[in-house]
Structure 1
């Protein structure tokens, strides 16, 4: 969509955006290429035309970017973070079926049990038609207080894809090591203003400490006072890296991120330069591009779940690659 047309659509829907290279808004849900069962469920529920927050929010989130959404209750914001999360979970399950005790891949934190239940019901509502259509099973978990923890742990033991939680119960389960966020790469904080007003800020910061890999973070709030702005800055990790420090920062990212990691570069020369640099720094890495001769003995290592090597693999995807780094040396 041309930039002028994007501006017209945003003006029509009174959408205000801030950020660089913001993905264009959508005209309809089909533009997002959701599975047919999801599109049919939207139609069944009478949801035909995306709301303003959906028009802009869905393409931003599906592009993998962090986002702060200012939207009031009833704006349709729940679907903005639920549908992409379902797609993330579905993609992971298709790529490699979940094993007992694994997960979650995505986490939604709500300020109240009531809101958590409502959100969980929306998740279930859109998972049902996928199951009926023969898609892989995606297991969600409602992690709130007032419910017997043993029943929640039974789901965790089977492997859980999506968790909808309140801060208290989530913090408790993480502290007792009943659940971990080692593989979680999608986080939504819904009604962040209420989370802060209710005193959950410290609890959420403790939850942040349990993430082992980089994550996509989404924050939704009805208002954006100063205290919420400060909270948002700490929740969304934004770092500016100077040109000359890029490759050093790449090494720092790899040291903080458990393997496997897949890195895409802009050209063959960058692949070779980065590969040589990482080898000199003691990082086990392999490089592939069209100019390299492919021999059986030089094929890249495919890591297991506990694999130690880091693979650059444009043609064969290693299992459970949680981090994709798009690296531009220029």
Structure 2
């Protein structure tokens, strides 16, 4: 593998990289930087945590060095769009580290904070502006900046922009950019709509792909527990207790669910914090900084933290709830095993999440090993899962989780891990109950389905 000196970067850039402890480029950096330095449009596909920020940031800084003058008032020379505030903050921090000792200004504009201070900073001109689309459009509408002379556009995590519906915002922003510019697009996954973005905003791009889209880093040890939804918190506490001194991120699906789970962990004696959409930007930043500094060891978050958190000490990621968008699973577990380190990703799958598990494994082209429990009856084939104990000879039925060699041993033919006494895997199906009784599944005191008497 080449070093940074061999990629054509200016000496000043290489020196600053060395000061920050970086001497050898990652595969995506090695392949993308030479093309970007030539001014080519680049489409980069690589797993999360593989150094995509510097793959576009270093060529951007290098080319700006040839300008020899400060930017004009309200002018923006290079624009980097990111889908979330957390990712924008991470990109900005990384770029600012690399421009130390230079006159370059790296600006940041995101929502959730006051807009007037951002307008004041933009008035002086900006070399590289990192922005979320919504706040950028607000500033454009206030005539706070001039994108007419912007020479560089970077779309980072473009697949999530599609998921969050930012394609319409991107069209509005593009109207203010010159057509004669260099555009770079980077992503960890490659949904079908990405081709539309590439054909619309990139000109004859060089496609640089390090790993198949949707593939997780090899250093991540993945596993799934089949468990009733009501038993998830107990299992999470049990697993967290095995590594109390190591940092872990727990992903939940909703804002309220994240907050409830965080409070449950605090009651259980864990130093935990939460990050979700109901938190102000300041609260989110303080929670992440406390987690980064080791003041809290468990961060409970929604998908706002699935990208942009580059914290090498994170050794464990828990998918307490499986994501609705399968690609987000790849981004979530990419918060561990950063920079070549090892990590573990544990998923919990309740009966109503089997479709999500199936979609995740289809995208990843990988069957997540079962750590405990067994797939809920009638959905084994649907989920496409493997069994810890394998299959019987002759293609018979899978062994139960309590079979020989399975973790968390149960008696052969026993109940799934986490199942309550007397319960059934999928809960009682709807339909008729006992003769003369209430319909199956009806709650006591619930509304009758028949006519009123």
What TM bracket, shorter-length normalisation? 0.5 to 0.7
Contact persistence 1:182–1:213 (CA under 8 A): no
Using the size of structure 1 for normalisation, the TM-score is 0.59
2:143 corresponds to which of 167, 170, 177 = 177
Aligned Cα RMSD in Å?
1.8
Give CA-to-partner distance per residue, 1:9-59, whole Å, 9 cap, x none: 7xxxxxxxxxxxxxxxxx221123434443233223332221110111000
- Larger Rg computed on CA atoms: 2
What residue in structure 1 maps to residue 15 of structure 2?
A: 40
Rounded to whole Å, the distance in 2 between the matches of 1:98 and 1:45 is: 27
Kept in 2: contact 1:139–1:161 (CA 8 A): yes
Q: Which runs of 5+ in 1 are unaligned?
A: 1-8, 10-26, 132-136, 240-330
1:100 aligns with 2:78: no
Query: Aligned partners of 1:155 and 1:166: how far apart in 2?
Result: 16
Task: Indicate which of 157, 164, 189 corresponds to 2:155.
Answer: 189
Which one has the bigger helix percentage?
Answer: 1
Structure 2: how far apart are the matches of 1:108 and 1:237?
Answer: 18
Partner SS for 1:220: strand
Match of residue 157 from structure 1: 123
Aligned-partner Cα distance in 1 for 2:195–2:24:
31
Please state whether the residue corresponding to 1:161 is helix, strand or coil: strand
For the residue of structure 2 that corresponds to 1:79, the secondary structure is helix
C-alpha distance in structure 1 between counterparts of 2:204 and 2:164, whole Å? 26
Rounded to whole Å, the distance in 1 between the matches of 2:25 and 2:13 is 14
Query: Corresponding residue for 2:300?
Result: none
Query: Shift in Å at residue 64 of structure 1?
Result: 0.4
TM-score (norm 2): 0.43
1:30 paired to 2:2: no
For the pair 1:227 / 2:200, whether they are aligned, the reply is no
Q: How many residues are matched?
A: 205
CA contact (8 A) 2:41 2:204 kept: no
**Where in structure 2 are there 5+ consecutive unaligned residues?**
206-453
Q: 1:113-132, CA deviations, whole angstroms, 9 ceiling, x for partnerless residues?
A: 0000000001110111x33x
Correspondences of 1:264-275 after superposition (within 5 Å): none
Q: How far, CA to CA, are the matches of 1:187 and 1:100 in structure 2?
A: 19
1:209 equivalent among 175, 180, 186: 175
Residue 147 in structure 1 maps to residue 120 in structure 2: no
Aligned counterparts of 1:41 and 1:87: Cα–Cα separation in 2: 12
- Tell me the residue number matched to 2:57: 82
